[in-house]
Amino acid sequence: MSDQDSENAGRPDEPTLILPPRHVGFMTRLRNYFFTGLVVAAPIGLTIWIVRWFIDLVDTWFTPLIPSQYQPDNYLPFDLPGLGLLIAFVLLTLLGALTANFFGRAVLTFGERVVSRMPVVRSIYGALKQIFETVISQSAASFREVGLIEYPRKGIYCIVFITTQTKGELVHKTGTELISVFLPTTPNPTSGFLLFVPKQDVQVLDMTIEEGAKLIISAGLVEPPHRMKDAVETVVPVSNPAST
């Protein structure tokens, strides 16, 4: 043992200074409790309000279809919310079953011919029908991946929803393999821009569509957890240089 080690061994241990915990004032704790309650109650309250508003809206449209003498309010001592929603479900199901047979298709074709003769109505009807047919038919394949592109210039990144592989004239004119992506806006992700981006310029992310929508709606405040895809990092041990 060296002289320095002997001197350190004989020296008593120096006392460790332990600071007391920081005192949190009553107003600070009250504010924290308030914001915690707000974070818990706001999503629940807004969800209940939106669901109730939708049910009341559908009830307003479809409940008057029931004759007044058969209204449930005449027999029950309380309101029956959701009756219009049930009626709408039954009517839409019956309408789908009706248009699936020959007679229903003939009536629908005749009605579309009548609408096609109306200058303004035919444009609105045609656009809405095409949108709904596209959404319903491709709901299983569309908006299944979240991507990252550089927009509106290099070095600035935006989250997009990958829709489908671009085909037709666009690919023929550009001579490039393109991907159709939807660039949503904040805080309303239902509006945005349709972009046709080269496939090599789109980075597919691991987050789900729901997580990407939350990130956009919250303006980046709600970030999804980062999931590594079996990434194994090689750790190089740091050792002391060999003594000569």
* The pLDDT value given to residue 161: 93
- Residue 239 above 70 pLDDT? no
Average pLDDT over residues 2-20: 55
- Residue 99 above 90 pLDDT? no
Sort strands 192-198 and 203-204 into parallel, antiparallel or unpaired.
Answer: unpaired
* The pLDDT value given to residue 158: 94
Band of residue 236 on the pLDDT scale cut at 50, 70, 90: very low
Residue percentage of the chain with pLDDT more than 70: 79
pLDDT per residue as tens digits for the range 51-60: 889 888 888 8
The candidate with the shortest Cα–Cα distance to 196, out of 216, 235, 168, 229, is: 168
- Residue 28 above 90 pLDDT? no
Residue percentage of the chain with pLDDT more than 90: 16
> Is the model more confident about 17 or about 62?
62
Average pLDDT over residues 196-213: 91
pLDDT per residue as tens digits for the range 122-150: 888 888 887 777 666 655 456 778 999 99
- Residue 244 above 50 pLDDT? no
Task: Write down the mean pLDDT value for the chain.
Answer: 79
Which residues is 150 bridged to in the sheet?
157
What's the whole-model pTM score? 0.49
